[in-house]
Amino acid sequence: MELAYTRDDEEFRTRLRSWLAAVLPTLPPRPDPLDWPARRAYDMGWQRRLYDAGYAGLHWPQAAGGRGATPVQHLIFLEETEAAGAPYVGAGFVGLLHAGPTIAAEGGPAQRARWLPPILRGEEVWCQGFSEPEAGSDLASLRTRAVRSGDSYVVTGTKIWTSHAEVADWCELLVRTDPEAPRHRGLTWLALPMDAPGVTVRPLRTLAGSQEFAEVFLDEVRVPVGNRVGAENDGWRVTMVTLSFERGTAFAGEVVACRRTLRQLARRAQRDGRWEDPALRRRLGRLNAEFTALWRLVQWNVSEAAHALRHGGSGVPGAGGSVFKLRYSHARQELYETAAAVLGPGSLDLAEEWTRERLSSLSYTIAAGTSQIQHNIVAERVLGLPRGR
């Protein structure tokens, strides 16, 4: 049980903090959230600065062009960038956190050379084409078909919940290549160029009113066979390898942000006279305990991941992440419910960021595996309870 950081890690933190202090004031103003091209430019500009300063692909293996940093350094990076108010990974998310690592782990040399450097340098944006209208919790039931035709696959289907589709260069796509095979078999991983004929992107409006996501319609889109990563019909394994390439750092930055948000909420309650309500105060106090614990849980998971990596593993299994995600999703929703209690009638005002975030927080028990599915995962994979039928 050592929470103090090593001298190396502290030096890493100090260098990073100095660099952030120097670079953040030089950034251009944040773009309007509805201006996709401006957002892409902003996010890629930030990625380029990270690249130039040696922070790009921090947690990627060095063989893939990354820095091979430990999970602890990755955590420090997330903590410090969040605390300093640095830009989020934004449009670089899928490339840096999923498609890139997938290609690094499963791609051939040419594929790695083609796709990885532009991700690290902030030159190409990736999006993710996994979910479908009929395949949400049950990803293995996806229906988008890919039929081999000469040197190409011809792909037809619909993908949903795709972020940054409007400005992406590439889409990591999971398609069904063998409709006869059992559900998890017969899937294949393809890199789809978003400018291919037959690709249509339609913004998808959420209940929060935002258009963070899109639907991607694929109408006989030709994808070269050379864009396939892994073997044909082996896409499920290829994808899952990377989905569990998770080192306890998921949502780490968000927890740091939530703790700051909670302090702001307390001050808001004080300003509005709501601090006089002991029930509300105690609710805020309990949230303080909750997010204190969540931060420690992140550190615990990172420590476990670091240990596993040192011993040849790939990081925490996804199931450990499920425990964290279940608790964090609930805590985040409770944070914004408490904010609504502080605001009272003001909680109906979309001009309040609290209100918009309350709406967004509703997705946390649904997206990336509903809380129901996460409970199943924990029960069966961590606790070893017999499989449900």
Partner 1 sequence: MDFRLTRDQEALRRGMRDLLAARFGREELRAAVDGADGAEGADRVAGAAGADRAAGTDRSNAGEGADRAGERSVPGGRLWRELGAAGLFALRAPERSGGVGSGLPEAVLVFEEAGRALLPGPLVATELAGSTGLVPGAAEGTVPVTALAGARAGDCALVEHLASAGAVLLLEEGRPARVLDPAAPAAVPMRSADPLTPLHRVRAPLPGPDRAPYRSADGSADGAVDGGEGAAPDGGVLLLEGALLAAAQQLGSARRTLELAVGYAREREQFGRPIGSFQAVQHLCAGMLVRSETARSVVYAAAVTADEAEIRAAKLLADTAAVDNARDCLQVYGGTGFTWEADVHLHLKRAWLRAEQWCAAAGSEERLASALLRPAGR
- Non-local CB neighbours of 342 within 8 Å, separated by 6+ positions: 265, 268, 269, 272, 274, 280, 354
Q: Which of 278, 312, 384, 386 binds a copy of itself (CB under 8 A)?
A: 278
Nearer to a copy of itself by C-beta: 311 or 387?
A: 387
- The single residue of 246, 254, 290, 304 carrying the catalytic annotation is 246
b/e 283-305 (16+ beta carbons within 10 angstroms → b): bbeebeebbeebbebbbbbbbbb
Looking at residue 150, its amino acid is: G
Size of interface with partner 1, in residues (CB under 8 A)? 99
Task: Give how far the C-alpha of residue 388 lies from the chain's centroid of Cα atoms, to the nearest Å.
Answer: 29
Q: Which listed residue (3, 4, 279, 351) binds a copy of itself by CB under 8 A?
A: 279
Q: Which of 11, 35, 52, 220 binds partner 1 (CB under 8 A)?
A: 35
CA 356 to chain centre: 20
Applying CB under 8 A, among 21, 22, 27, 34 the residue interacting with partner 1 is 34
Least distance to partner 1, CB of residue 283, Å: 8
Instruction: Clarify whether 380 is annotated catalytic.
Output: no
Backbone angles phi, psi at 154, to 5 degrees: -105, 115
Is residue 384 at the binding interface for a copy of itself, with CB under 8 A as the rule? no
Going residue by residue from 269 to 308, which x/- string records binding to partner 1, judged by CB under 8 A?
-x--x---xx--xxxxxx-xxx-xxx-xx-xx-xxx-xx-
72 binding partner (options partner 1, a copy of itself, none; Cβ < 5 to 8 Å by kind): partner 1
- CB 314 to partner 1: min, Å: 18
- Looking at the Cβ atoms of 1 and 110, the one nearer to partner 1 is 1
Residue carrying the six token digits 């892994």: 230
Tokens 């069904």 map to which residue?
Answer: 176
- The span of 24-32, 43-51, 129-137, 272-280 binding a copy of itself (CB under 8 A) equals 272-280
Of 56-64, 85-93, 143-151, 360-368, the segment contacting partner 1 by CB under 8 A is 360-368
- Residue 62 contact among a copy of itself, partner 1, none, beta carbon within 5 to 8 Å by kind: none
Q: Is 151 in the site for partner 1 (CB under 8 A)?
A: no
Nearest approach, Cβ of residue 359 and partner 1 (Å): 7
Consecutive H or E run containing 192: strand 187-193
Q: Shortest distance, CB of residue 155 to partner 1, whole angstroms?
A: 22
Q: Which of 7, 26, 29, 32 binds partner 1 (CB under 8 A)?
A: 32
What does the DSSP 8-state code read for residue 387? P
Q: Residue 229 and residue 286: Cα distance in Å, rounded?
A: 47
Contact 126, 99 (CB under 8 A): yes
Instruction: Record the tokens describing residue 258, joined without a space.
Output: 């939530």
138 forms part of the interface with a copy of itself (CB under 8 A): no
Q: Are 177 and 148 in contact (CB under 8 A)?
A: yes
Buried-exposed string 329-368: b where 16+ CB fall within 10 A, e elsewhere: bebbbebbebbebbbeeebeeeebebbbebbbbebbbeee
Under rule CB under 8 A, residue 277 binds a copy of itself:
yes
Structure-token pair, residue 67: 């820095």
The alpha carbon torsion through 188, 94, 115, 47 (nearest 10 deg) reads: 180
In the complex, which residues of this chain contact a copy of itself (CB under 8 A)? Answer: 277-279, 282, 389
Residue numbers annotated as active site: 246
